[in-house]
Amino acid sequence: MKDPDVNDELSRFEAELRAWGARPARTSASVARTQVTARLPLVCEPIPWLRLAASAALVVVLAVATWLGAPRASREGKASVHGESPPPIDPNVVVWVMDTRTTVYFVLGPDGSTKGGMS
Amino acid sequence: MPLVGVDEGTGGLVRAARGGDREAFGLLVERSWQRLVRLARSVVGELEAEDAVQDGLVAAWARLGTLADPDRFDAWLSRIVFRRCLRAHRRQRGRVSLEAVPEAPVSCDPAASVSAWQLLSRLAPRQRAVLHLTVVEGMTDAEIAPLLAITPASVRAHRRRARESAARLLQGGKS
């Protein structure tokens, strides 16, 4: 770049570029206006606020659904925590869960007799 | 609703266009057309410049709602058109080397136009845009930066690299 010849050539190139780049467009502005407006879709895309609002509404719906589902799940979880632990699984044990608080089980004796209890 | 009593400043036209006024947008197109085509021509060449600008304008219409400040419409529109040009440039590279098909000269001085474009087309697209906006449009770094979505420091770096590359190419052409 320090070479004066190169600087001269660069200046010449930029002068050419100025002349080349400043030429008017082949299509006039008024024709371009007609062409472009003919290509425009009928309406603008919905403003991103609408899209944003829709996304926010979806998030709220999901949050509410999760919140409504959560107490049920935790209630069930509490019941299993506070209730009796289930009887051991054994081939000779028949377990009958009546509800979350009541489990009835039967133990089959070796002679076919049964004994059982309720918890 | 056509333009009646609308402030014909850019901001007013943009606000009207955002409300769906196609006539207002048409006026904005008419005002920006020459400037945008000159920029696009320096990035993608004569053949694809006007298509790139038209595509950019249609995209801009669809995205008018995203423009935060209507008074910055010109820079915003230039960025959209410039991105279209970058896309067109990538397609060009995929198709054929620009050097292989020099464009038909259209100016009064055919030799000048061919050599200006031939050299420009060998620079990176951002370098072409920076050189164009500096040399042809006479814009400052601070004015160029928002048009290309880069910092003024990047503008200076692109221009320095563009001039270095041009000098190398000019020296190479001489030998």
Tens digit of pLDDT for each residue in B121-136?
999 999 999 999 999 9
Please report which confidence band the pLDDT of residue B175 belongs to, taking 50, 70 and 90 as the band edges. Answer: very low
End-to-end CA distance of chain A: 95
Per-residue model confidence (pLDDT) at position A51: 73
Residue B80: name the closest of B29, B131, B13 by CA: B29
Quote the pTM value.
Answer: 0.68
What distance in Å separates the CA atoms of residue B94 and residue A32, rounded to the nearest whole number?
Answer: 28
Closest CA to B29 of A41, A32, A43: A32
User: CA-CA-CA-CA torsion for B122, B147, B160, B167, nearest 10 degrees?
Assistant: 30
Phi, psi dihedral angles at A117 (to 5 degrees): -165, 175
Which CATH number applies to B107-175? Answer: 1.10.10.10
Q: Are A21 and B41 in contact (CB under 8 A)?
A: yes
Which percentage of chain B shows pLDDT scores above 70? Answer: 83
Is residue A72 in a domain?
no
Residue A42 domain flag: no
- A vs B, Cβ pairs < 8 A, gives 124
Given an 8 Å threshold on Cβ–Cβ distance, is B54 in contact with A35?
Answer: yes
What is the reported pLDDT for A55? 85
Q: Can you tell me the distance from the alpha carbon of B64 to that of B163, in angstroms, rounded to the nearest whole number?
A: 36
Q: Give me the mean pLDDT over the B91-119 stretch.
A: 62
Q: Give the single-character DSSP code of A108.
A: E
CB contact under 8 A, B107 and A19: yes
Total tally of structural domains belonging to chain A: 1
Selected for mutation to probe chain B from A11, A14, A33, A47 (highest B CB count within 10 Å) is A33
Do the Cβ atoms of B164 and A30 come within 8 Å? Answer: no
Highest mean pLDDT among A67-71, A101-105, B116-120: B116-120
- Interface probe with A: pick from B1, B15, B37, most Cβ of A within 10 Å: B37
In this structure, what DSSP letter does residue B134 have?
I
Residue A25 is nearest to which of B26, B34, B163, comparing CB atoms?
B34
The boundaries of the domain holding residue A95 are 84-111
Residues A30-48, mean pLDDT to the nearest whole number: 82
Whether residue A48 is predicted with pLDDT greater than 70 in this model: the reply is no
Instruction: Specify the residue for token string 């820079």.
Output: B75
Does position A74 have pLDDT exceeding 70, yes or no?
no
Q: A29 vs B131: CB contact, 8 Å cut-off?
A: no
**pLDDT band with cut points at 50, 70 and 90 for residue B29:** very high
A19 contacts B62? CB cut-off 8 A: no
Which structure tokens are listed for A5?
Answer: 């010849």
Which range (A46-60, A89-103, B93-107) has the least confidence?
B93-107
Residues of chain A positioned with their CB less than 8 A from the CB of B119: 13
Any idea which architecture B7-93 has in CATH?
A: Orthogonal Bundle (1.10)
The pLDDT assigned to B106 comes to 41
pLDDT value for A53: 82
In-domain check, residue A14: no
Q: ipTM surpassing 0.85, yes or no?
A: no
**Chain A positions with Cβ closer than 8 Å to B:** 1, 3, 6, 9-10, 13-14, 16-27, 29-30, 32-37, 39-41, 43-49
| Whether B43 contacts B132, CB under 8 Å | yes
CATH 1.10.1740.10 residue window(s) in chain B: 7-93
A24: in domain = no
Using CA atoms, how far apart are residues A80 and A70, in angstroms rounded to an integer? 15
With a CB cutoff of 8 Å and minimum separation 6, the contacts of B53 are A32, B33, B36, B37, B40, B81, B84
Residue with tokens 């955002």: B18
More reliable by pLDDT, B152 or B4: B152
